[in-house]
Structure 1
């Protein structure tokens, strides 16, 4: 599949409708592009350059940002704070990929981001039809919860997790699982969604089974470390939606992974129990 096929129409629209100046790099040591989401000046259009697929990708990034901003205004940050936090992280990641010219990586992440935002929109619509979204907690309590979500997310979404063609977990990643389990046992409102992935080596059927096995292995060890398995859902994407495109050793290593979403939603509204 042509990685830019899904943005061909948006390519021309980007030049017509979204005219803005390019962001400039900060001084060395002050942080990268789009590190702070709220203050990001990342531009969806690159002035004075020929139109190309990158313009369509930047336009798609802008559409995703507008969708996320709209969901936040509708109360998503109160009903689903963990999902919003991770969506903001993904927006920042895509901005950095586009700024660095990593078009294929950005295209993959945009596909993932739009799917997650559409899912979030459906969940938010359901909750709002049952009850209003109100702040689940105030001040330090809410901020502390988000810090825990971020800590767990960073622990579990790292490179170098699995051996080649195996569900065997890297010993260092095993340590991350143990640390995350200890944190999660103290924060019972948080759940995990674990999705397994494989590199492009092997058939699609084999990779789908391998990826699911990796997700289930992560669930198994989190349970061994004391986390209730009912708090963990497992899925498989096989070799679809790799984190990076390519067939080098480093790319394959990174794509042998699980991606983990940290969910702190059901504690925030009684209506969420029905989801």
Structure 2
């Protein structure tokens, strides 16, 4: 047992060191070669393979996968299907990043995934103290719910970059905002959390303000397109959590963005889905 604990501490320490490693950076699109990887199974250490920093990240990925699998086994998929679907997508993205040797990108996404799973565990524990999470009677309704959530998530997390030192929403992303807002009008149980980001240029304080202004601009347009203000929350991470590490123009552009989480009240969403059929 002591050996296992020591190994775990060693792996976690190594993964922390990789936060200062260099990334290969993405090709134009959504992550370059790492996005082409579909296999999501990793062993923390391969036989006869030298121990390197990537093993710490693989170990952390495996721990996150075990955490997610445990939550699913406890019923999270039935009480919080939207949250589980997004967590699974993030887990697969990290796997593709690891396969593409994008260590810093994987490390950043693991930080996000840990917080997401911890929040999901807290919500699940509360629900399980009051009731049970069981499969819905109508599985097709559940699949329809997840399809709607995924469609909104995909719309709002593509073409979401900003020009240098600007909070103006680009026209292509504005079109995505209009489509998502129109879709969400049918499902009032869905809410959004908009997080603003900045590149590494500028001071920490300035980047914090600029990133928040980007999030607020996105919220402003969603409201113009018909969403109620109460359904959209905003926050800023400044330049503290870049999507990719590096200082090339393409990477800096990618880091000037908003990221959007789709938050769904599962019971209300199921009712709305039935009413729309």
| Residue of structure 1 equivalent to 2:10 | 9
Instruction: Name the SS for the 1:267 alignment partner.
Output: helix
| Residue of structure 2 equivalent to 1:175 | 175
1:72 to partner: Cα distance: 0.6
Stretch of structure 1 that moved more, 257-266 or 205-214: 257-266
| Residue of structure 1 equivalent to 2:273 | none
Alignment of 1:19-98 (within 5 A): 32-34=36-38, 40-98=40-98
Alignment of 1:223-234 (within 5 A): 223-234=223-234
Stretch of structure 1 that moved more, 187-196 or 260-269: 260-269
Alignment of 1:183-194 (within 5 A): 183-194=183-194
User: Are the aligned partners of 1:81 and 1:265 in contact in 2 as well (CA < 8 Å)?
Assistant: no
Stretch of structure 1 that moved more, 136-145 or 57-66: 136-145
Structure 1 residue runs without a partner (length 5+): 1-6, 15-30, 270-275
| Residue of structure 1 equivalent to 2:118 | 118
Cα distance in structure 2, aligned partners of 1:43 and 1:204: 38
User: Are the aligned partners of 1:83 and 1:263 in contact in 2 as well (CA < 8 Å)?
Assistant: yes
- Distance change (3 Å), C-alpha of 1:226 and 1:102: same
1:127 to partner: Cα distance: 1.8
Cα distance in structure 2, aligned partners of 1:70 and 1:268: 25
Q: Number of matched residues?
A: 243
Cα distance in structure 1, aligned partners of 2:136 and 2:223: 28
Cα distance in structure 2, aligned partners of 1:178 and 1:13: 44
Instruction: Name the SS for the 1:259 alignment partner.
Output: strand
Cα distance in structure 1, aligned partners of 2:41 and 2:186: 38
How large is the RMSD of aligned CA atoms in angstroms? Answer: 2.2
- Distance change (3 Å), C-alpha of 1:114 and 1:11: closer
1:268 to partner: Cα distance: 5.8
| Residue of structure 1 equivalent to 2:221 | 221
Cα distance in structure 1, aligned partners of 2:38 and 2:263: 24
The normalised TM-score by structure 2 is 0.82
Alignment of 1:115-194 (within 5 A): 115-135=115-135, 138-194=138-194
User: Are the aligned partners of 2:159 and 2:172 in contact in 1 as well (CA < 8 Å)?
Assistant: no
Q: Deviations over 1:114-170 (max 9, x none)?
A: 111111111111122222223456222111110011111111111452121111011
